Amino acid sequence: MYHRYDGGGVTVDGPAVLVRKNFEETLSVSGSYYVDFVSSASIDVIASGASEYSETRTEYSVGADYLYGKSMYSAGVTISDESDYQAATYSFGVSHDFFGDLTTLSFGYALGQDEVSQNGNNEFDEDLDRHTFRLGVSQILTPKLVMDLTYDLITDEGYLNNPYRSYRFLSDPLDPAAGFQFAREVYPETRTSDAGSIQLRYRLPWYAAVGAMYRLYTDDWGIDAHTAQLSYSHVLRQHWTVDLKYRWYTQTGADFYQDLFLFPSQDEKDYRGRDKEISEFSDQTFSIGLSYKRPLEWRFGYQAGMTLQYDRKMFEYDDFTDLTREGFLPGEEPQYELDADVIKLLLTLWY
């Protein structure tokens, strides 16, 4: 696969390779390699006075699925590495079919152990641990309608903010014309998140299917988020499939987020953040994909496929201002907006 994200001064692209092998129809083993080449001059980088930077992130993962009766057991390890962040995730899951295979119950657990460092500062070394629990139910309601219910519980503990990111405060609270200053963000060391979703998929009589999804997210930082998605898939001339998708997302800001503070943080428990990802914002995504799959008469493979997908993302921030716009008093700058283009090209060979 080749993937590329371009928007808001950030470009991320690179290749990915995945190989999966089945053994005797009961065991499947997979391994993948994923690379991100990152080039960034985002609004955060420019506003802080830093210069554009480039880095490379590599990710390796191995996994296995074992089928025993009507139960599927899954396990995997994912390790990623970049210049100032190392992450390792260990996961395990099990699913079981009930009631004549009409109902599937699944449970999963993942442990993430990350190490956060800072380029240019050898004394900075922090840890982050993450526990993720997932419970899911898939139900065939009719021969054409399937429903999926999922619940996720995530607990984070450790260093949860970005070591390079800063918040801003007024140089003189009584005189905004005096400008503002930057200081290092101060975050809580724990975070608990809950998310529940429902998804419906319905097969139409003309070789097509429609889908709808809703997801509710909440955490103890004060962020509440809603996600809604509609999708449509249509088979064309046997080998071709067109996928259309629309996604809408909105969230409230964290309790300790502000675009502009009056004064600097007073102590280590006086949390301050200006990351736009914990601010109040919404985004929309329009997606179109085209897939082609056909049998092969080739000794190295019996089927091949190709998928090309394009996403257009549009972000609107309600409480995060564009500091690159000059001539405004602090706090009166226009709200920041971001458009992004995402391209994915996937080639698959079944052997």
**Token pair in block for residue 338:** 């971001």
In terms of Cβ atoms closer than 10 Å to its own Cβ (0-12, 13-18, 19+), residue 170 is: buried
pLDDT confidence of residue 50: 73
Q: Report CA-CA distances (Å) from 74 to 60, 92, 93, 210, 298.
A: 17, 6, 5, 29, 31
Quick one: tokens of 82? 């970049």
CB atoms within 10 A of CB 257: 24
Q: What is the structure's pLDDT at 351?
A: 87
| Nearest-angstrom CA–CA distance, 97 and 72 | 9
Contact present, 304 and 291 (Cβ < 8 Å): no
Q: How far is 198 from 153, CA to CA, in rounded Å?
A: 16
With a CB cutoff of 8 Å and minimum separation 6, the contacts of 22 are 28
Those residues whose C-beta lies under 8 Å from the C-beta of residue 213, and which sit 6 or more positions away, are 197, 198, 199, 200, 227, 228, 229, 231
pLDDT at 37: 95
Q: What are phi and psi of 240, to 5 degrees?
A: -110, 145
Whether the Cβ atoms of residue 272 and residue 258 lie closer than 8 Å to each other:
yes
| Model pLDDT, residue 238 | 83
The SS3 assignment for 20 reads strand
What digits encode the pLDDT tens for the residues 8-17? 999 999 999 9
| Domain membership of residue 66 as a residue range | 2-350
H-only helix segments in the chain: 43-47
Predicted local confidence at residue 56, as pLDDT: 94
User: DSSP 3-state assignment of 163?
Assistant: coil
d(CA 241, CA 252): 37
Q: Based on the structure, what is the number of domains in the chain?
A: 1
Give CA–CA dist 324/332, Å, rounded. Answer: 12
Cα–Cα separations (whole angstroms), residue 190 to 86, 130, 219: 19, 10, 11
pLDDT score, position 167: 93
What would the two tokens of residue 19 be?
A: 């190989």
pLDDT for res 211: 98
The CATH code of the domain that includes 38 is: 2.40.160
pLDDT along the chain (351 residues), means of 10: 95 97 92 95 80 90 96 97 95 95 96 94 94 98 97 97 92 92 94 98 95 98 98 92 98 96 88 95 98 87 94 97 90 94 97 87
